[in-house]
Structure 1
Amino acid sequence: MRLEPVESHDPRAVLRGLRAAVLGAGPAIALGGAGIAAPAPEVPAGTALVVTTSGSTGYPKSVVLSRAALTSGALATAARIGEGAWLLALPAGYIAGAQVLVRALVSGREPAILSGTFSPSAFAAAAAGMASSAGGTRIPAYTSLVPAQVATLLDSPEGARALASFEAVLVGGQALAPALADRAAAAGARLVRTYGSSETAGGCVYDGVPLDGVGVRVAGGEVQISGPILADGYLGDPDRTAAAFLHEGGTRWYRTGDAGAFDGALRVTGRVDNVIVSGGINVSLDRVEAVVRTLPGLLAAVVVPVPDARWGEASVVVVDSDAELKAIRAAVAAALGAAARPREVLRVDRIPLLPSGKPDRVTLRALANGGPVA
């Protein structure tokens, strides 16, 4: 099957490509194709989308998603939160944005698209333009955001009102801080925490509960996902595909690399590999970061590893506001033990973000280690 690159920064071009790939006969489209050699290779029959992203680790991956995987995710979302109209307020070149467009296409409704730079006024205008009804009944509106966007909207009365006008707002990309969730609830907004990745055709676990047809297990401390929403694998990388997708007893499982627990509700505690050994003691930097983010003014803080001459490895807290190292170390020690205490605080004017809304940890690690920033 032919694969056609599409300009990821043009949401309307992405929409046109997805309309043909998901509802028509194709061709499949490629988004973020820096990792795809030219000319674009053939892809398996039934492929709708290949999305290439370096993610927060900097390692490029081209994820092959079938029409069936994308539509399964869209239909399961509608079954869980309801049907209605969708607003695209995320970059269309990433799976979360592309899946907003797929949900709109599957529902038979044209998506609204936020134009220009994201801001409370632009979001409010887009939300107001979605108001419509059928047979005298209001059509519910939905959107998908990352936590940083939610925080921006809640800082503006206009944005907070617009946020509350949606039937539900899917929030993913990174953990949703409890304080931010509480602010949204107080403003009358219904946030739905989502968990997923490009390999699962976007969010597949909502508020800890898997969507219909999605299986979740924790094996060896790692969260693994099964179901019709799984990607076919990585384009041109059979070894990586075999390592990430397991076949057991007739079921195919995706190894997420996330640590967590599942007892009917999924709780993700961090990355399996985001662990340092400091003075011979394993320290989860995800847990350190979670503690730091509970402190006033540190909701956006990011914790990154650095070498340490005495302890082998240590951590640095990167912040975009004033922060006192002594208070941070005390809070972390009380929650996780003395070995987990960060070594220092690094202040930056602004936390660099990837287009997906996640912190750019590759850049932050370079800054913390005093090396060149790519």
Structure 2
Amino acid sequence: MTRTAARQEEIHFRTSGSTGVPRHWFRLPHQMENEVDLIGRHLVGVVDEVINYAPPQHLFGALFGEWLPRMRQVRVHQAWADPFEPCSVPPGARVLVVCIPMAWELLRRGWPALECARSVVALHSSATAPAAAYELVRQAGPLLRAHEILGATETGGIAHRPLAPDGDGTREWQAFPDVSLVRDAEGSTGGPQELVIRSPRLARPESDPRPPDRWTTGDLVEFTGPRAFRLVGRATSLVKVNGIKVHLARVDEQLSTRLPDTECVALALPEDALTGEGYAVFWTGRRRGVEVADIRAALLGFPSPAKIVEMDRIPRTDTGKPDRQALLAAL
């Protein structure tokens, strides 16, 4: 196949970029097929029906809401188009649900319609799983099995782990078989390292003629085995408050654990000449009896946030990630 023909076959995806300027990524059909086959064999198994809450303009939704149903010739309900439309499945069906954060509460409310299924597998990606996910996994097992996938548009799926009923977000991730973890040979102290991977499924950036040899993800991890790690947070989410390192992913985990009915997001603040680095906590949940004092109490053991901002709702992107620009604009 000529390079021109290969370019014509490429599938285009776009990310917002850290500066707000869109970045464009390109994947070949065989990369899409290989990812569907790999994750399908490892996590999903046989499927008769797909319920897809992930918009297909994003890689996660395209893979499991479009490519998997087409490759396996099974029916798909594109729930992202009308999330509040009730879902129904034939009795005895083996169901795959493709989840982003907002899907879990809808899935929990509509669960009785899925209890006739033979099995339900949920894949979750794109953001931290909400409290409703853990609640449903506790209530609906063993009929429901759920898996988290760590990945990005640039990389495809990197690693996976079961979505644990106990809500323990610190469990280790296992790399997919075709992903190599590039470990820092000098990182012998066991401290956090930035996650670097090699994979045949890396996307091609628009500025390059081919995919890169390796990709630095921006995730900070602690390696727990040759192909396993715990996620500490994002390299950009590590701040120092009065000289103390704070991993904002751990702030989010502690808030989620101690205030399960409150939606909270911790974000790094632009460095201030007077106060230095810091972070803010955005939250919503006063109608459930939560007050600012409860936020502070839940953060015992962490340096105090510079700001605690109450919101009517947490703004999110269409894949469920907190909308950082909208949150910082609320300060």
Which interval holds the TM-score relative to the shorter structure?
0.7 to 0.9
Structure 1, unmatched stretches of 5+, are 2-41, 133-137, 246-251, 369-374
Please provide the CA RMSD for this pair. 3.0
TM-superposed deviation, 1:298: 5.2
Per the alignment, residue 49 of structure 1 pairs with 11
Per the alignment, residue 62 of structure 1 pairs with 24
Structure 2, unmatched stretches of 5+, are 162-172, 188-192
Mapped contact 2:13–2:25 kept (Cα < 8 A):
yes
Give the residue type in structure 1 aligned to 2:310.
R
Alignment partner of 1:294: what SS?
helix
Per the alignment, residue 303 of structure 1 pairs with 266
Number of residue pairs the alignment of both structures matches: 300
Mapped contact 2:131–2:261 kept (Cα < 8 A):
no
Q: Distance in 1 between matches of 2:5 and 2:330?
A: 39
How many percent of aligned residue pairs carry the same amino acid? 23
**Deviating runs (4+, > 6 A) in structure 1?**
none
Residues 1-374 of structure 1 aligned to structure 2 (within 5 Å): 44-45=6-7, 47-54=9-16, 58-80=20-42, 81-85=44-48, 86-100=50-64, 101-114=66-79, 116-119=81-84, 122-125=85-88, 128=89, 131=90, 138-154=92-108, 156=109, 158-159=110-111, 161-162=113-114, 165=117, 166-176=119-129, 180-188=133-141, 189-201=144-156, 203-207=157-161, 208-219=173-184, 221-231=193-203, 233-236=204-207, 245=212, 252-262=213-223, 263=225, 264-297=227-260, 299-306=262-269, 307-308=271-272, 310-322=274-286, 323-334=290-301, 336=302, 340-368=303-331
TM-superposed deviation, 1:60: 1.8
Q: 1:309 to 1:253 in 2, by over 3 A?
A: closer
Per the alignment, residue 164 of structure 2 pairs with none
Q: 1:96 to 1:273 in 2, by over 3 A?
A: same
Alignment partner of 1:184: what SS?
helix
Q: Distance in 2 between matches of 1:108 and 1:195?
A: 26
Q: 1:194 to 1:327 in 2, by over 3 A?
A: same
Give the residue type in structure 1 aligned to 2:198.
S
Q: Distance in 1 between matches of 2:149 and 2:266?
A: 22
The TM-score with structure 2 as length reference comes to: 0.79
The TM-score with structure 1 as length reference comes to: 0.71
Give the residue type in structure 2 aligned to 1:162.
L
Alignment partner of 1:186: what SS?
helix
Alignment partner of 1:152: what SS?
helix
Mapped contact 2:16–2:23 kept (Cα < 8 A):
yes
Question: Per-residue CA shift, 1:278-301, capped at 9, x if unaligned?
Answer: 223332222222222222255531
TM-superposed deviation, 1:76: 0.4
Mapped contact 1:153–1:163 kept (Cα < 8 A):
no
